[in-house]
Amino acid sequence: MPLISAGTMVLDGQIRRPGWLDTSGGRILGCGGGPPPRAPDRDFPDSVVVPGFVDMHVHGGGGASYPVAQEIGDAAAFHLRHGTTTTLASLVTAAPAELLAGVRALAGAARRGTVAGIHLEGPWLSAARCGAHDRSALRDPDPAEIDAVLDAGGGAIRMVTLAPERPGGDAAIRRFLDAGVVVAIGHSDATYEQTTHAIGLGATVGTHLFNAMPPLHHREPGPALALLGDPGVTVELIADGVHLHPAVVDAVLRAAGPQRVAVVTDAIAAAGCDDGTFRLGAVPVEVVSGVARVRGTDTIAGSTATMDRLFRAVARRAGLAEAVQVTAATPARALGLQRVGVLRTGYDADLVVLQRDWHVAAVMVRGDWRVPERG
């Protein structure tokens, strides 16, 4: 039953200096502020302990992609080294047979606990706002295909991003909700009214707010304002300084509050790699100076970010408690994940030990040190 103490801990959303946490059987047995109840097994007097990061939108990393069966473990391990203890593996638009194969591969990984589930980003997206998705494979949601995808997922599909304005959008939203899948609106050219209608049907997430959707206009506010303005919607932000200006991130945090903001990486295989050529599904991607774009265009193609980098960016501008909320608690709640995202008695012992500069020093997953402390 390892007992951990640290100079700073964020416990149940509250900053404790010092703090302690006791674990047993992979769960948190008890925690609190002040001196620990007995001599700690591990003491981090100059470090900050926070909940393990929850990334609800990530395609790969470390040179590996989630749709590729033999690379799933490598991608998850790469992000684990950067503090992500809960990963939702995202699939991009693909032809029907390829989509089903990717879902089956990731469903197996979910059963093994390598990933926490699947995020389908497409293929039911807007051609006008497809971004780095394969335009030729976009299509309207078809009930038979949706049923086939859900069957292939075997309960592992946790979220789907779709453009609600496509024909069949209403029925698709209802079918996914009936299956217990979180519906996100993104890669959409929907009007404000179409977006509020989809939210009324039960959509609860805005996929990478402002990206791959019409810009906010004072006469045609579009999906961004509808998503930002609804208190029941969680909005994703890619806070890498490329997808959004930092001032926009600040403004969204003020407008929506950290309880409604989930910071995501949208990372592709290029994360953690040198500049070069990669692929996002069927689309060739060129990375220059750490920025991924569809080859030969200015279209951004995911990111090369990691959650620890995004945590630092938010913490330096908004504060430690806010950074913990948007990188762990909010995404976990948005996905309906139990016992993760918060350091609280009865929850999984998933945590990240950060050095004074907020770089990762160690990572614990369900009570096991997966990334040993660095000297």
Active site residues: 266
* Spatial distance between the Cα atoms of 150 and 78, rounded to a whole number of angstroms: 28
CA 288 distance to own-chain centroid: 24
Residue 270 · residue 263 · CB < 8 Å: no
Binding residues for Zn(2+): 121, 187, 208
Q: 3-state class of 3 per DSSP?
A: strand
User: Angle at the Cα of 373 (from 371 to 375), degrees rounded to 5?
Assistant: 135
Residue 222 · residue 191 · CB < 8 Å: yes
Q: How many CA atoms lie within 13 A of 192 on its CB side?
A: 13
Beta pairing class for 117-121 and 60-61: unpaired
The string of DSSP letters for 41-79 reads: SEEEEEEEEEEPEEEEEE-EETTEETTSGGGHHHHHHHH
